[in-house]
Structure 1
Amino acid sequence: MAELRAVYEAIWGVQLDAANFRRSLVGEDGWVIPTGRTARPGPGGGRPAELYRAGRTWQHAAPIHRLQRNR
């Protein structure tokens, strides 16, 4: 999820809140599907990240749309 968030941040040029980004994807059916596996823990320790795969909805639209800010 962190890697996908980094892609959105790089393209949009903004920093996204990690919890809200995850909630946006996991909260809607069909965007991401848990694999039941976790990533290897990094050198800093902590809880291993849950791994997901893309759901079928990705074929039809993007899960998160950039908000237009008033200038």
Structure 2
Amino acid sequence: VAAFSKPAMLLQSVEGLSLYYPKRADECCGFGGTFCVTEEAVSVKMGVDRLQEHVANGVTYITGNDMSCLMH
């Protein structure tokens, strides 16, 4: 976790909480800007791929810094 990631630092301080970081944590979810409108099929595929990785790893809750990514 990067030193500038304050939310990650906060979550790491929660006793009993196990954190999972996606393999490509710095990769866009596919929702950004007008991309989701101009490239809808690609955007949806990118979002589904991200969710499938979380599900495959038994993730119960997803947190993030960007509300549009979380809604995607």
- TM-score, normalised by the number of residues in structure 2: 0.22
The structure with more helix, counted as a fraction of residues: 2
Which structure carries more strand by proportion? 1
